Amino acid sequence: MTDPSHMITPTITLAVFGYFGRNFLEKVAKTVQSEFHFPVRIVESHVDLSDFFDPSRRQYNGNKLLKSVSTLSIRDKGKTLGLFDVDLYIPILTYIFGQAILSGDTGIASTYRLSNEHYGLPPDEELLLQRFTKVVIHELGHAFGLIHCTTPTCVMRSSTYVEDIDQKGLRFCHQCRESLNTDPPAGFKAGN
C-alpha cells in the first residue's frame, strides 16, 4: 500500500509564450484549477518561434513546439501546457487548436484559430476565453490520460472545427471525471 504522505500533488503550469492579458490568463487558470483540483501556476516563457515556422505552410510545427515545451526548465512533477497565439499544424492535419502527450506531462494550446476575427466575425472576448479554456482543459485531460469522448457536451469530445468547441461544455462528463479520479498518474493523488 502506498503511503499517502509520499504522494505528490501535481502542479499544472501554464507556460505563456507571447502576450496574453493577465485577467484572461487568470480566468483560464481559475477554471482549470476548478476542473482538475490541482494548483495552477502561470509562468512567462520565451522561445524563438522562427525555429518552428514552416514558410511553405506559413504555420508553426506543433510537434516541434510540443517537444520544445517538454524540455523547459520550469517543468516540475506536474503537467505543463504551453500557451501560444500562432497558427499550429502537424504534418497530417491542416491545423490544430492544441495537442498533448497522452499520459505525458506536456501539451500546447493556441488562441490563433479561436477568435471570431479569424472567421470575419466581430470580436467576442468572452467567447474566445471559453473556447481557449476548453482547449486547455481538453489537452490537459489528454496529459492526465483521458482519450476522446463521445458524450456531446464533454470537454474531451474531439474538435475539428471551432463550431465543435462551441457545442461542447467546459467540464468532463461523468465517465471522464470517474476515469480522471480513479486512474491518476503514478504518484499523483486524485482530487475530489
The edge-to-edge listing of strands for the beta sheet with 88-90 is: 53-54, 59-61, 88-90, 93-96
CA–CA distances in Å: residue 191 to residues 11, 38, 120: 12, 7, 41
Name the pTM for this structure.
Answer: 0.89
Enumerate domains of the chain plus CATH numbers: 8-147 (3.40.390.10)
pLDDT, mean of residues 173-190: 68
Give the E-state strand segments of the chain in sequence order.
12-17, 40-45, 53-54, 59-61, 79-84, 88-90, 93-96, 98-100, 106-110
Is 163 considered catalytic here?
no
From the candidates 117, 139, 163, 178, give the one annotated as an active-site residue.
139
Least confident of 27-36, 66-75, 82-91, 166-175: 66-75
* Closest to 28 in 3D by CA, of 132, 153, 177: 132
* Cβ-based neighbours of 36, under 8 Å, separated by 6 or more: 12, 137, 140, 144, 180, 191
CA distance linking residue 14 with residue 44, whole number of Å: 9
At 124-164, the pLDDT tens digits run 999 999 999 999 999 999 999 999 999 999 999 999 999 99
Q: Provide the pairing of β-strand 106-110 with 98-100.
A: antiparallel
